Amino acid sequence: MEEIRTLSPRDPNFHAYLLGTFSKTHRALPVKSLNLIDGDEHVTFQIAPVSELRRPSPLKIGMQLVRVPSLMTSLFPLLISWVFLEQRSIEVHKNLALMALVGVGFLHIAVHLLNDFRDHMKGYDGLSPYRGSRVIQEGWMTAQRVRIIGWSFFSLALLVGLYAIWSKPTLVVILFGIGSLGGVASYSASSFGLKYWGLAEPALFLLLGPALTIGFSSVVADAWDLSLFLIGCGLGALVSLNHYLKNLIDMMGQWKQGFRSLPILLGFDRAKRAPLLFLAVMILSFALAAISTEFSETLSSAVLISLIFAISILKRVFRARSCFSSLLPQTQRAGLLFYLSISFTLLVGFLIQGTQSGG
Amino acid sequence: MVGRFTNKKVGFAGRQRGYGVDFGMRMKNIKIYSLGDFPAYLPKLNLLYDDLFSGGKGLRSRLVALVGDALDLKESTVMLLCQTIEFIHNASLLHDDLIDRSPLRRNRTTAWLKYTPEYAVLAGDYLLARVMVNLAAFGNLELIQLTSQMISDLLEGEWIQDSLVRDWEITLEDLDRVHNLKTGSLFKWCLLAPFVAVGSVDSEVKRSLENAGTILGQLFQRGDDLLDFDVRNSEKKMVLGDLKAGYLNSFGVFLSGRLSGVQKQEFLKSQSMSDVFSSLGESYFQDRLCEFDRMNTRMIALYGHHVMTLKGHLCESGMSLIENLLELPQNLYWRKR
């Protein structure tokens, strides 16, 4: 039999329940609230024995925790840049490239886990069901453990960054390290983060787009290329679009919590048209990249795939009649598939081209 | 029980109409509306209201009276609150019927059809305006704020629900959020408003009442949605009305969640319960109903928990209120008479 308990922030056990450290045999699952949270929020927990919780396999929990598809949005620009440089026969500092890949990956995981932890502790995810990995809410892992794992990944990312600077102590490597940390902080810090000012999409466009591709190529090859910048713009536009769709779905929760996301600033009907802009930037970027590489097969394919996906995404978004429409989560899933397809096409295409030119 | 309240202060004296349907709750039947309440010189207004208020269970006003009596509120205040909630609820019905183009309400021709759509809109607006006039005269700013928020939530819910017509992939989670705005907000108000009318409400009591009211609204809505599938339908409500109007209600979402594409298409075309059973299989229907009930039993436990947290904050006379509130899901969800 599950027990229900409501605790006030003044209760001495309040934080132990939130963190999940109050018991080794039970989990305190926060009950979803449909009411607006305030500054002095009590939390109602369903106390459930760990043995009775339905848990997926550890692999699935791990994948959910690190949010693999989201992680790929940090890693794909680096991998694509790497194979692109190799394909162009530009010498790549392989150890450094590997470190950048691992460091950025660790940082991405750390930021998401610490965001999950913060949202849980502040009760944000009660009102917005689309937030986060939900491993804490489902009782698969305690908040305390998520925090520890988050800070562990952050420490590992720092160590990798420091090792990279030690192995190649140049200004550009130091700037890439500081830029990564500064970018994350400027994006998600609760006091001044860009995502709280309706600027999440432009910030993501830069951070997970051209800044990543150009930063990476400057670090590992002391070179940068216009095509790589344009590829970064295309990928950045697509990441921004996916994030934008998430904000579009979560408009009501964000509005009630006073967030100023881009869809809220635009209003639903104008917000529905904005994906057109993201897609135009993406298609234009890939098209220009294709032109700059004298119509490489890979980039030409990317343009074609973009056009097909863009039409399907726009058709769904335009038909949505409110942020509650089931078409929007479908569009978001299509957007993610879109990102993975484009990235995979670029990665494999450049690999094949590299092998052919190498042969 | 009829004619319990006559309130000259807010002008409700005169011919009154009662709510005769016993919904099984230990709540009083309250007369809400009299012809003298509305300007006699407005064409069709009184006739329209006469039709509108002559049916219905007065469920929400009885809930208000249940709480108000436990708090020893003056009769005039209870009357004001009961009238407020019934006016708002009926205004929403006037608008709702027009939006849904429903031909019948409480087995009578709906106002927009019997009169005109324009009259139905204006009559609904007028009820909302009367609410604000009456509350302003009462002079409790917190009550006005609470009521305005409830009206705002209700309208938001209406607005969003309209956007979900023929959306067959809606999730239960999203539907709950819509129902919280549309139905939960009114139940929340019913529990909270009498406390606010007494004076300042302790924040913990307020939170418990809000949570309990929200859940009660969800339970009522889910119970109501089951009637649409002829489950515990002792009220003999029209079957599959929601589905035929292009609206997948909470049980519809729950039922169709595990269906294959083809099965779902068959289910959505259902015109009668035998169509539903032939598309899903009767045993599947019963299994899902049991699961739905189990899920809502957990919700009832949560509701009970929130009601029980009031215990430490109410005086001895308030204990009977807790008992009565704990019984409500029996009527509102299980529809026991």
- Domain ranges, ordered by start, for chain B: 12-139, 167-337
Q: What percent of chain B has pLDDT over 70?
A: 90
Partner residue opposite B163 with nearest CB, options A33, A324, A329: A324
pLDDT of residue B11: 26
Partner residue opposite B178 with nearest CB, options A8, A33, A324: A324
Q: Which of A124, A194, A113 is closest to A157 using CA atoms?
A: A113
pLDDT of residue A35: 64
pLDDT greater than 60 at residue B293: yes
Q: Which of B8, B90, B107 is closest to B48 using CA atoms?
A: B90
Please answer yes or no on whether A35 and B214 come within 8 Å at the CB atom. Answer: yes
pLDDT of residue B5: 31
Partner residue opposite B167 with nearest CB, options A6, A31, A325: A325
pLDDT greater than 90 at residue B28: no
> A318 touching B, CB under 8 A?
no
> A35 touching B, CB under 8 A?
yes
Chain-wide mean pLDDT for chain A?
88
As a whole number, mean pLDDT of residues B137-159 equals 94
Residues A64-109: pLDDT tens digits?
Answer: 888 898 899 999 999 999 999 998 888 999 999 999 999 999 999 9
Total length of chain B? 337
Q: What is the DSSP letter of A1?
A: -
Separation CA A17–CA A70 (nearest Å): 29
pLDDT greater than 60 at residue B135: yes
Q: Which residue of A has its CA nearest to B163?
A: A321
Model confidence at A196, in pLDDT bands (50, 70, 90)? low
pLDDT of residue A192: 58
Partner residue opposite A34 with nearest CB, options B177, B204, B207: B177
pLDDT greater than 90 at residue A311: yes
Separation CA A220–CA A252 (nearest Å): 44
Q: Do domains B12-139 and B167-337 have the same CATH topology?
A: yes
> A330 touching B, CB under 8 A?
yes
pLDDT greater than 90 at residue B105: no
Q: How far is B186 from chain A (nearest CA, A)?
A: 13
Query: ipTM more than 0.90?
Result: no
Helix (H) or strand (E) holding A44: strand A43-49
Separation CA B316–CA B318 (nearest Å): 5
Half-sphere exposure for B11 (CA within 13 Å, toward CB): 12
Q: Which of B81, B253, B278 is closest to B174 using CA atoms?
A: B253
Separation CA B240–CA B242 (nearest Å): 5
Please answer yes or no on whether B169 and A324 come within 8 Å at the CB atom. Answer: no
Separation CA B191–CA A262 (nearest Å): 37
Tokens representing residue B41 in the block: 């010189």
pLDDT of residue B29: 59
pLDDT of residue B18: 35
Q: Which residue has the higher pLDDT, A17 or A173?
A: A17
pLDDT of residue B239: 92
Q: How far is B303 from chain A (nearest CA, A)?
A: 10
Tokens representing residue A222 in the block: 């002391």
Which CATH number describes the domain made up of A58-358? 1.10.600
pLDDT greater than 60 at residue B1: no
Please answer yes or no on whether B169 and A330 come within 8 Å at the CB atom. Answer: yes
Model confidence at B330, in pLDDT bands (50, 70, 90)? very high
Model confidence at B25, in pLDDT bands (50, 70, 90)? very low
Q: How far is B161 from chain A (nearest CA, A)?
A: 9
> Between A and B, how many residue pairs show a Cβ–Cβ distance under 8 A?
61
* Spatial contact of A147 and A117, defined as CB atoms under 8 Å apart: yes
pLDDT of residue B328: 95
Lowest mean pLDDT segment, chosen from A136-150, A201-215, B9-23, B24-38: B9-23
pLDDT of residue A55: 86
Please state which architecture CATH assigns to domain B12-139: Orthogonal Bundle (1.10)
Which CATH number describes the domain made up of B167-337? 1.10.600.10
Separation CA A296–CA A227 (nearest Å): 11
Q: Residue B169: list chain A partners with CB under 8 A.
A: 326-327, 330
A133, amino acid identity: S
Please answer yes or no on whether B305 and A4 come within 8 Å at the CB atom. Answer: yes
Residues in CB range of A288: below 8 A, 6 or more apart = A230
pLDDT greater than 80 at residue A194: no
What's this model's pTM, rounded to 2 decimal places?
0.85
For residue B244, how far is the Cα from the chain centroid?
21
Helix ranges (H only) for A250-326 are 251-256, 262-266, 268-273, 275-292, 297-319
> A39 touching B, CB under 8 A?
no
Please answer yes or no on whether A322 and B164 come within 8 Å at the CB atom. Answer: yes
As a whole number, mean pLDDT of residues A189-214 equals 80
pLDDT of residue A1: 52
Residue B99 phi, psi (nearest 5) = -60, -45
pLDDT greater than 70 at residue A168: yes
Q: Which residue of B has its CA nearest to A37?
A: B207
Model confidence at A355, in pLDDT bands (50, 70, 90)? confident
Model confidence at B176, in pLDDT bands (50, 70, 90)? very high
Q: What secondary structure does DSSP assign to A198-263, as a single string?
A: T-HHHHHHHHTTHHHHHHHHHHHHS---HHHHHHHHHHHHHHHHHHHHHHHHTHHHHHHTT---HH
Number of CB atoms found within 10 A of residue A192's CB:
10
Measuring CA to CA, how many Å separate A328 from each of A129, A333, B181?
14, 9, 21
Q: What percent of chain A has pLDDT over 90?
A: 54
Q: Residue A327: list chain B partners with CB under 8 A.
A: 167, 169
As a whole number, mean pLDDT of residues A179-188 equals 76
pLDDT greater than 80 at residue A195: no
Lowest mean pLDDT segment, chosen from A22-26, A281-285, B33-37, B195-199: B33-37
Residues B11-20: pLDDT tens digits?
Answer: 222 223 333 3
**Interface with A, mutate which of B161, B268, B305, B310 (most A CBs under 10 A):** B305
Listed by start position, the domains of chain A span 3-52, 58-358
pLDDT greater than 70 at residue A358: no
Q: Which of B82, B70, B112, B118 is closest to B94 using CA atoms?
A: B112
> A6 touching B, CB under 8 A?
yes
Please answer yes or no on whether B163 and A325 come within 8 Å at the CB atom. Answer: yes
Beta bridge partners of A7: A43
Separation CA A335–CA A245 (nearest Å): 8
